[in-house]
């Protein structure tokens, strides 16, 4: 399990397990398989296919994924009970590289209020179930749930007990998204440094986004020595979601020179994967979402458009092509400037008639003030009208906004279809 390259960060995708736990995100076996195939193309290292004990449908989905996927480790989740572990093993044993993932709480809040057990009982149960899982499978991951709110000394004791029992991956979850980045980094560093046997295990982290810190906490944990990250496409998952795969991967990619780390993801497949997950879960991605939102590579203000048209470096820290988009988007709005206006006319092959430049620009502004985005169709119309009326102001034509009204609803419908 532990890799010899210290600079390699392994990507564990849990879109099909934690991601699918989001309310209203149910995926059937066919949809899960389609996403798993795309995750394989994306180049993730581990696919968490589901929670097999939860339903016969999920068991079957995990089994089909394990049978078919060859480019990644396939894992599935079990609570620390034999029935769950047997269900996981039944579902994933045909994978090329199977892994059993066991979760059992470590925080006193969970031990008292959820499990009604003592710390000693939890340690004993965890160790027995890890040993049982190891009797079935060579790869066993142990997740001490709610580690972010646990007593660090007990967490260290738990981790060394589970390593001694046979776990070769230890995952530290911030289950409730409670930690601050420096706290979480410190916790992970402490566990790696203090737990006996940690040199033989791979350390992973699993962060939730309740305070919007999942990616920052994951980065802090990587800086502290974790080398596997659990994440989901579009950041979906319980409540506010999980660490977003596309964000952590592009962070490692864009800031490679500073961080000195690498992962095996083919970033050019990111947009395709994001769109597939959005389509199959029936959930649109918020427009301002980093990396995959519709506005992530769109420029609307005149100052930014002018800058980008002169040189993308002015406002883009990553190339749209690197995440699988064909180009960035210049959106024409009332805040756009002449540079963007002329650039778009040029791309449409429109040359304004002699002396019609100012009239066209004024018409553009007049229209832009009435709608969210001026479309290519609007521009064609503006250009035609401006050439016609050049030198004949006050010729009885109705105002440009009236003439373009029928185009507004076409533009609105298109916007609706694209952004939902």
Binding site for Zn ion (CB under 5 A): 18
| Closest CB to ligand KIV among residues 22, 171 | 171
Least separation in angstroms between CB 49 and Zn ion: 15
Determine if 110 is a binding residue for ligand KIV (CB under 6 A): no
Integer Cα distance of 36 and 273 in angstroms: 10
Strand partners, 231: 13
| Closest CB to ligand KIV among residues 242, 356 | 242
Q: Which of 32, 63, 110, 206 binds ligand KIV (CB under 6 A)?
A: 206
| Closest CB to Zn ion among residues 18, 378 | 18
Picked from ligand KIV, Zn ion, none, the partner binding residue 73 (CB below 5 to 8 A depending on kind) is none
End-to-end CA distance of the chain: 43
Strand partners, 10: 228
Integer Cα distance of 401 and 408 in angstroms: 9
SS3 200: helix
SS3 266: coil
Instruction: State the number of binding residues for ligand KIV (CB under 6 A).
Output: 10
Structure tokens given for 156? 């260290």
Integer Cα distance of 357 and 223 in angstroms: 55
Binding mask 314-343 for ligand KIV (x = CB under 6 A): ------------------------------
Least separation in angstroms between CB 4 and ligand KIV: 26
Is 361 within 8 Å of 382 (Cβ atoms)?
A: no
Picked from ligand KIV, Zn ion, none, the partner binding residue 145 (CB below 5 to 8 A depending on kind) is ligand KIV
| Closest CB to ligand KIV among residues 171, 336 | 171
Picked from Zn ion, ligand KIV, none, the partner binding residue 103 (CB below 5 to 8 A depending on kind) is ligand KIV
Residue number, nearest CB to Zn ion? 18
Least separation in angstroms between CB 207 and Zn ion: 8
| Closest CB to ligand KIV among residues 106, 192 | 106
Q: Which of 173, 185, 235, 324 binds ligand KIV (CB under 6 A)?
A: 173
Q: Which of 145, 246, 306, 378 binds ligand KIV (CB under 6 A)?
A: 145
* Helices vs. strands in the chain: H and E counts, helices first: 17, 10
Is 48 within 8 Å of 103 (Cβ atoms)?
A: no
According to DSSP, residue 352 is labeled P
Task: Give CA separation, 261 vs 101, 190, 222, in Å.
Answer: 26, 21, 9
Determine if 126 is a binding residue for ligand KIV (CB under 6 A): no
Integer Cα distance of 282 and 284 in angstroms: 7
Determine if 244 is a binding residue for ligand KIV (CB under 6 A): no
Integer Cα distance of 155 and 221 in angstroms: 16
Least separation in angstroms between CB 20 and ligand KIV: 12
Picked from ligand KIV, Zn ion, none, the partner binding residue 58 (CB below 5 to 8 A depending on kind) is none
| Closest CB to ligand KIV among residues 77, 411 | 77
Cα dihedral value 275, 281, 286, 292, nearest 10: -30
Least separation in angstroms between CB 243 and Zn ion: 10
Determine if 103 is a binding residue for ligand KIV (CB under 6 A): yes
Burial letters for 383-392: b for 16+ Cβ neighbours within 10 Å, e otherwise?
bebbbebbee
Stretch that binds ligand KIV, among 67-75, 106-114, 168-176, 193-201 (CB under 6 A): 168-176
Alpha helix locations (H) across 224-337? 245-254, 256-259, 270-281, 302-310
Integer Cα distance of 278 and 286 in angstroms: 10
Residues that bind ligand KIV (CB under 6 A): 18, 77, 103, 143, 145, 171, 173, 175, 206, 208
């Amino acid at each position: 399990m532990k890799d010899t390259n210290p600079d390699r960060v392994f990507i564990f995708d849990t879109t099909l397990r934690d991601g699918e736990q989001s309310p209203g995100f149910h995926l059937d076996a066919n949809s899960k398989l389609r996403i798993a195939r795309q995750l394989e193309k994306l180049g993730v290292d581990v696919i968490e296919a589901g929670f097999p004990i939860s339903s016969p449908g999920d068991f079957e989905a995990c089994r089909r994924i394990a049978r078919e996927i060859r480019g990644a480790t396939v894992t599935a989740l079990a609570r620390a009970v034999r029935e769950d572990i047997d269900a996981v093993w039944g579902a994933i044993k045909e994978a090329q590289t199977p892994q059993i993932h066991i979760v059992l709480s470590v925080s006193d809040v969970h031990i008292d209020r959820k499990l009604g057990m003592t710390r000693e009982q939890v340690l004993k149960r965890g160790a027995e179930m890890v040993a049982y899982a190891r009797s079935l499978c060579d790869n066993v991951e142990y997740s001490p749930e709610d580690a972010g709110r646990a007593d660090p000394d007990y967490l260290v004791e738990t981790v060394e007990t589970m390593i001694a029992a046979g776990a070769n991956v230890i995952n530290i979850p911030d289950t409730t998204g409670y930690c601050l980045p420096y706290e979480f980094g410190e916790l992970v560093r402490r566990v790696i440094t203090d737990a006996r046997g940690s040199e033989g295990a791979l350390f992973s982290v699993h962060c939730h986004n309740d305070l919007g810190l999942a990616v920052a906490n994951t980065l802090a944990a990587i800086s502290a020595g974790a080398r596997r990250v659990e994440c989901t496409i579009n950041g979906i998952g319980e409540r506010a979601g999980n660490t977003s795969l596309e964000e952590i991967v592009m962070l490692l990619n864009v800031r490679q020179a500073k961080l000195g780390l690498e992962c095996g993801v083919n970033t050019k497949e990111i947009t395709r994967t994001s769109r597939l997950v959005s389509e199959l879960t029936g959930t649109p991605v918020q427009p301002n979402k980093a990396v995959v939102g519709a506005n992530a590579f769109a420029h609307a203000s005149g100052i930014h458009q002018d800058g980008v048209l002169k040189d993308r470096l002015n406002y883009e820290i990553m190339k749209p092509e690197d995440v699988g988009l064909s180009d960035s988007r210049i959106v024409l709005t009332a805040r756009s400037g002449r540079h963007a206006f002329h650039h778009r006319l040029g791309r449409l092959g429109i040359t304004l008639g002699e002396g019609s430049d100012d009239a066209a620009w004024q018409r553009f502004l007049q229209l832009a003030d009435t709608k969210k985005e001026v479309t290519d169709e609007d521009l064609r119309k503006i250009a035609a009208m401006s050439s016609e009326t050049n030198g004949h102001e006050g010729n009885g034509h109705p105002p440009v906004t009236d003439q373009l009204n029928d185009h507004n609803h076409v533009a609105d419908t298109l916007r609706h279809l694209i952004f939902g």
